Chains A and B, each alone.
Chain A
Amino acid sequence: MKSTKLKRTFREGMDNFRRNGWLSFATVSVLAISLYVISVTIILGITANMVLRNIQEKINVSMYFNSDVSESRILEIKDKLIGYQEIQSIDYVSKEVALEQFKKMGDKNPSITQALDEIGENPLLSALVVKAKNPSQYDIITKAISNASFSDDISRIDYEENKSAIDRLTNIMKLVEQVGLTLGVVFVFIGVLITFNAIRLTMYAHKQEFEIMRLVGASNTYIKMPFVFEGIFYGAVSAVVVMISLFVTSKFLAPLTQGSIGGGDLTSFYLGNFFTIFGGLLLAGIFLGTISGVIAIRRYLKV
């Protein structure tokens, strides 16, 4: 297409957008609401995932070794376990380190220090702290360890004590994933439908103009282009509106999410991903705006 045509249809689109003040306002509002709901759903999904992963990070299973097992033997076992594909990391905590940590807790609770003094020697056991890649795998890991050749060296594994908490978390994660995904799909679907309908109505309002344009000798492309640009404006303006609304929302929710999302809160997540979110919204808005516009116009463009 020639550049004068492009320039003219662009200006047409801008004039339409400006001069149909109320219609543009209504269309942008609907588009913005749809985009807002969709992005809130997605952001909630992502942050819920991050929160859960955060909790998951804190879950581990410790196996305590008999006090007569040497450190070199424990490290040997650690090297063996590293080969398990379900295991993400293993940390060795010697009984001296464990005592240090325990004493630190004693700073706040003097009775612990007292008790240790009475015993006189280090009552703690050296341990390997295992983190699984997925919380549902702890079961397999502990079973494998219990049946391993070195199982005689192990005093106890604290898996059973944590089992119910781990199971619960696993279930919650599954549920959140399923519900989030379902809700997300439903909201996206509704958003697309509402936007499509709103823009179809906008195009319907222009219906008579299409006829006039045709009679004056405008080609279909020439009639269509301004509305493509109009759709782009709808999308772009909506994206900006939604960015502002999301910022306000994140500020509002920030106290609730303090420290749970990658160490920050919802606002810092928003600011950290500003350009990703804005780019996504811009793309989604423009895509929705133009595609539904073009589909709607086609109905009215018989030559």
Chain B
Amino acid sequence: MPMLKFENVSKIYPGNFVALEEINLVIEKGEFLSIVGHSGSGKSTLLKLIYAEEQATDGRVFFNDRAIDSINHKHLPYFRRNIGTVFQDFKLLPQKTAFENVAYALEVSDESPEEIAELVPEILEIVGMADKAQKFPRQLSGGEQQKICLARALVRKPLVIIADEPTGNLDPVATWEIVQLLMKINSMGTTIILATHNKDIVDKLNRRVIALDKGRVIRDHQKGRYAI
């Protein structure tokens, strides 16, 4: 059973803007998939369909054989707890410390205080941010903020982590640290879907690469290199 399946998926935004067209895609559990393409090629839209921020105009997206568009609005928050998300602009809550940002992901899913007290430091240790736990996002560098985001995405042990240009705002050193973290997370069994512009990353990863252009999949290689 594939973890994610796109069946003839199209997404047309208001104003007749076609973001995705006839996408057919299967992603297996444990994969490390990179999605490459120019700005506006539909990478982010593809990802948004997975975490149900957008709905497909045509076709269906299945997550573990369940059609995402059939999920009741009320149950969406529960569904999203299976998916960790990381973004270029971090999306940390500015009024919370690093620790609290990570803990928040557990609090919303009703984890006990004991569980939170145990899990959060553990995860912060994994991403190498244990000593910055009490800092607010504004006191952290871009790379450090992104590590906190990864920690937050990871802490609920999601089935898949979706990373939309996670290194877009980072310097080369920080970029490489994040990629290594993603690889480490993947090696522990979590599926990773990474949208990126960064040629170096894709080439070094040497894993499956999908290239998008004008909303269509133009290439899908199991051991791919960056090429559009």
Considering only CB atoms, which chain B residue lies closest to A9 in the complex? Answer: B107
Contact of B95 among A19, A215, A219 (CB under 8 A): A19
Residue picked from A20, A208, A212, most chain B C-beta under 10 Å:
A212
0 or 1 for each of B68-110: is its CB under 8 Å from A? (1 = yes): 0000011011101100010000011111100000001101111
The docked-state distance in angstroms from the alpha carbon of A152 to that of B13 is 96
Q: Nearest CB to that of B90 among chain A residues?
A: A212
Question: In angstroms, how far is the closest chain B Cβ from the Cβ of A42?
Answer: 37
Is A149 an interface residue when CB atoms closer than 8 A count as contact? no
User: Please, which residue of chain B has its CB at the minimum distance from the CB of A2?
Assistant: B110
Q: Is A218 an interface residue (CB 8 A)?
A: yes
Given contacts A16-B95, A19-B95, A20-B95, contact A215 B108 (CB under 8 A): no
Q: How far is the CB of A222 from chain B (nearest CB, A)?
A: 5
**B77 and A214 contact, CB distance less than 8 A:** yes
Measured CA separation A20–B93 after assembly (Å): 12
- Could you say which residues of chain B place their CB within 8 Å of the CB of A20? 95
Chain A residues with CB below 8 A from B74, complex form: 219
Does A71 count as interface, using CB distance less than 8 angstroms?
no
- How far is A16 from B104 in the complex, measured between Cα atoms in Å? 14
Cα distance A83–B81 when bound, in Å? 79
Q: Are B110 and A217 in contact (CB under 8 A)?
A: no
Question: Which residues on B sit within 8 Å (CB–CB) of A219?
Answer: 74, 77, 108
**Are A209 and B73 in contact, with the CB atoms below 8 A?**
no
Task: Give A205-228 interface residues, CB cut-off 8 Å to B.
Answer: 208-209, 211-220, 222
Which residues of chain A are within 8 angstroms of B95 by Cβ–Cβ distance? 15-16, 19-20, 209
Closest to B83 in A: A217
Decide: A215 and B93 in contact? CB cutoff 8 A: no
Residues of chain A with a CB closer than 8 A to B5's CB = none
Closest to A15 in B: B95
User: Does B53 have its Cβ within 8 Å of any Cβ on chain A?
Assistant: yes
Q: Which residue of B lies closest to A222 (CB)?
A: B108
The answer, yes or no, to whether A4 is at the interface (CB within 8 Å) is yes
Question: Does A73 touch B at the CB level, under 8 Å?
Answer: no
- Chain B residues, Cβ within 8 Å of A220: 77
Q: How far is the CA of A15 from the CA of B74 in the complex (A)?
A: 27
- A1-36 CB contacts (< 8 Å) to partner B: 2, 4-5, 8, 15-16, 19-20
Are A218 and B108 within 8 A (Cβ)? Answer: yes
- Taking CB atoms, residues of chain A closer than 8 Å to B80 are 214-217
Interface centre among A4, A216, A218, A220 (most CB of B within 10 A): A216
Measured between beta carbons, the chain A residues less than 8 angstroms from B93 are 209, 212-213
**CB-CB nearest in chain A for B108:** A218
- A residues near B, CB below 8 A? 2, 4-5, 8, 15-16, 19-20, 208-209, 211-220, 222, 303
The residues of B with any CB-CB pair to A shorter than 8 Å are 51, 53, 73-74, 76-78, 80-81, 85, 91-96, 104-105, 107-110, 112-113, 152, 156
- Pick 29 A–B contacts, CB within 8 A, sort by A: A2-B110, A4-B110, A5-B110, A8-B107, A15-B95, A20-B95, A208-B91, A211-B91, A212-B91, A212-B93, A213-B104, A215-B51, A215-B53, A215-B85, A215-B91, A216-B80, A216-B85, A216-B104, A216-B108, A217-B78, A217-B81, A217-B109, A218-B104, A219-B77, A219-B108, A220-B77, A222-B77, A303-B73, A303-B76
Beyond contacts A19-B95, A220-B77: 14 other A-B pairs, Cβ-Cβ < 8 A, are: A5-B110, A213-B93, A213-B108, A215-B51, A215-B53, A215-B85, A216-B104, A216-B108, A216-B152, A217-B77, A217-B105, A218-B104, A303-B76, A303-B77
